[in-house]
Structure 1
Amino acid sequence: MKKYLKYLAVCAIGTSFFSAAFAQSNEMVKVLKEANKNKIDVFIGNKPFTSFLYPDTLEKPVLYPVFTAEGTDVTRGFPLNPKSGDPTDHPHHIGIWFNFENVNGLDFWNNSYAIPKEKKSQYGWIKTDKILDLKSGAKGILAYHANWVNQQNSILLEETTRFEFTQVGHNRLIDRTTTLKANTDVNFTDAKDGLLGMRLAHQLQMPTKEDQKFTDDKGNVTVVKGGTDNVATGNYLTSEGKTGNDAWSTRGNWCKVYGKMGADSVSVVIIDHPQNPNYPTFWHARGYGLFAANPLGEKVFTNGKSAKNLQLKKGQSVTFRYRIVVEEGKNSISTAQIKKFTADFARKN
């Protein structure tokens, strides 16, 4: 409660900034369903922002790709649309997604086409069955309903998610509110892989002098020799001042990844909300391009000192809220700007 009141106090500081910024944001947001496809496109000022993909061939719905206002794609292309030089590890990392590694023993996070048929029973699917709302305007709205199911299509959780897409000045924003309602007694057992995830473009990975080993879901190992990657330029910064690899497993109310893409600096910021469980979140931010906020991985991130096991009885629900800011310009988005976006988001219920 004290942390939340502190944020309310900070909110007043950013009021004039946001009033001016929104006044400058006259770009229409268009949210359009593609005919005969499980795909919804989002445009800002007639320029693509992202697409919501929910075909039966994917094990969860995703936002992919994601573009800055200048048209730069900040997401990895593989496996849906591989780009030259794309790393091919972790095929379940697609765009932006929301799921978890251990829900009643089922792994929703790591499921992908790479899982052998005989092992699929250990994994869960998220199947979108209804688009609840689509609105275009100064703010784009997309809401959907999905079921978290096992391989027999028994429903563990019902998901209702609402996206708000906006542009503030030169910054593009995605505000996500996801409510999970238990259709049976559900345990989220503390685990490393969750909850809101994003796979970054190669340029936003961190350069390294050390060899890196990646193991895919078939057990194949890929080795990237240290010092040979001339594409990666990324770095992390958290609200608590943690940078680079030191950001991983630490708490913070926001985390930024930034790097050079072409001639410009590109930034992606994930912002936590004070009403989220186990706030502020832990950052599952990896140098190889995984950028995730996971409040339910406390046991791993604290080396077993404490744990966060979330339990829902049948009929109970839990809500998670996140803001994602995507920006491109001469310089990376400043900490002062991020704090204003954070304070604004804290006011939203």
Structure 2
Amino acid sequence: MLLRRLLLCIMMASIGKVAVGDVATGDNSADSTSTPAISIESTPTGKRVSIDDQLFAEYLTDTGRQPAVWPIHGPSGQAMTRSWPLGPQQPSEEVDHPHHESLWFSHGGVNGHDFWAVAKGEPKTHIVHKKFVRSEVLDNAATIETANDWNAGGETIITDTRRLTFGLLGDAADSPRYIDFQIKLNASEGPATFADTKEGSFGIRVSGPLTVDNKLGGKIRNSRGETDGKAWGRPAEWVDYGGPLTATSEADQPTGGVVIMCHPESFRPVPRWHVRTYGLFAANPFGGDKDFPKGEPAQGAVTLDEDETLTLNYRVVFYDGDVAADKIQKWFDAFANAEAN
């Protein structure tokens, strides 16, 4: 019996996962000073992911409209996404577009139903969290997988499974942090059409100080070299939204940013980008010439047959400091060379 218990302990250590009660945490006992510990803890509203017991991000199962990730803290602990409407309005934040809920996925036209904006009439749309499929820490990265129903007026239109993986791009606690986001959209209830509209799809609303419009130094740039308003509606492999992280004019104020990357194995791996100078930041693989600038490679509405699945894969990187475009490209190359699963 003693030998079996010893073997079991060795096996658990080898896979790098320890589950204690309702908390899953990576086993870093071999070198706790050099490798930050990532953990997941259940909360009344979802799952909380921490690094060395400091909050990184929280997965919320229901904002009243959909699942979302909020708050999200960068390597220095600064907020990376807008607080309002999920939390109190912060300095330099605008109170607009209440459907921009930190980090989320939705779309403005699914079989004629608007899941993007706050519904102005009936039927009410709601992406409903059904269950957690799994929640674990493995190889010092935290993974949360969920199943969801897209409902309009109480009727399920499509379903999805989404997998979020939270980790570090280095071995130190102040390394850039990432969230990998994979979503599988399934036409479970019959054919499903995703409309050609700018209103979508994998979105982030950055914190107020980062926005270009606040004129504190925020800047948008993409993999094609386009910046600020010129990046809107254009195709790109990645887009970066960087600048100050606090609403001050001090010379030594902290800086950082958010990058969204699209994996080459994702459906339409070079999407159009609904990225705005006021802080919206979204990869949209469905929006085409209807709303976005004309003359770009073909993209537009997509119809799935019954039970057909469409898979999208993105990585979001949260970093401190000023990062050169070639460094972001190296991050993208590493992500692109990883298997999307």
- Tell me, yes or no, whether TM beats 0.5: yes
Q: CA deviation at 1:250?
A: 0.8
**TM-fit CA distance, 1:86:** 2.1
CA RMSD of aligned residues (A): 1.8
Residues 147-172 of structure 1: CA distance to partner in whole angstroms, max 9, x if unpaired?
111112x2221110111111123100
1:143 pairs with 2:145: yes
Given that residues 164 and 175 in structure 1 are in contact (C-alpha distance below 8 angstroms), is that contact kept between their aligned partners in structure 2? yes
- Residues 307, 282 of structure 1: alpha-carbon distance in 2 compared, 3 angstrom cutoff: closer
The structure number with the bigger radius of gyration is: 2
CA deviation vs aligned residue, 1:20-76 (integer Å, no higher than 9, x gap): xxxx97111111111xx1321010121111100113x52110001110011000111
Residue in 2 that maps onto 1:246: 230
Gap change, CA 1:120 and 1:25, over 3 Å in 2: farther
Give the CA deviation at 1:254. Answer: 0.5
Matches within 5 A, 1:35-54: 37-54=44-61
Pairwise CA distance, 1:304: 8.0
| Residue 6 (structure 1) aligns with | none
Cα deviation per residue 1:189-225 (whole Å; 9 max; x = unaligned)?
1111111000111101113xxxxxxxxxxxxxxxxxx
1:307-344 deviation digits (Å, cap 9, x = unpaired): 51111111100000000000013xx2222221222112
Q: Percent identity?
A: 28
Of structures 1 and 2, the one scoring higher in RCO (CA 8 A, sep 6+) is: 1
Structure 2 counterpart of 1:31: 40
Q: Which residue of 1 aligns with 2:95?
A: 88
State the distance in 2 between where 1:141 and 1:87 align. Answer: 32
Contact 1:25 1:167 in 2 (8 A): no
Shift of 1:126: 0.5
Q: Shift in Å at residue 143 of structure 1?
A: 0.5
1:296 corresponds in structure 2 to 286
TM-score by length of 2: 0.82
Q: Following superposition of structure 1 onto structure 2, how do residues 73-152 of structure 1 map, counting pairs within 5 Å?
A: 73-81=79-87, 82-111=89-118, 115-116=119-120, 119-121=121-123, 123-137=124-138, 138-152=140-154
Q: 1:326 to 1:307 in 2, by over 3 A?
A: closer
5+ residue gaps in structure 2?
1-32, 247-252
Q: Contact between 1:182 and 1:317, CA under 8 Å: does it hold in 2?
A: yes
TM-score normalised by length of structure 1: 0.80
Count of paired positions: 292
Unaligned runs of 5+ in 1: 1-23, 208-228
> 1:162-177 alignment to 2 at 5 Å?
162-169=163-170, 170-177=175-182
Whether contact under 8 Å (1:25, 1:168) holds in the other structure is: no
Aligned-partner Cα distance in 2 for 1:297–1:278: 11
**Aligned equivalents of 2:333, 2:244: Cα separation in 1:** 27
1:326 matched to which residue of 2? 318
Give matches, 1:155-166, under 5 Å: 155-166=156-167
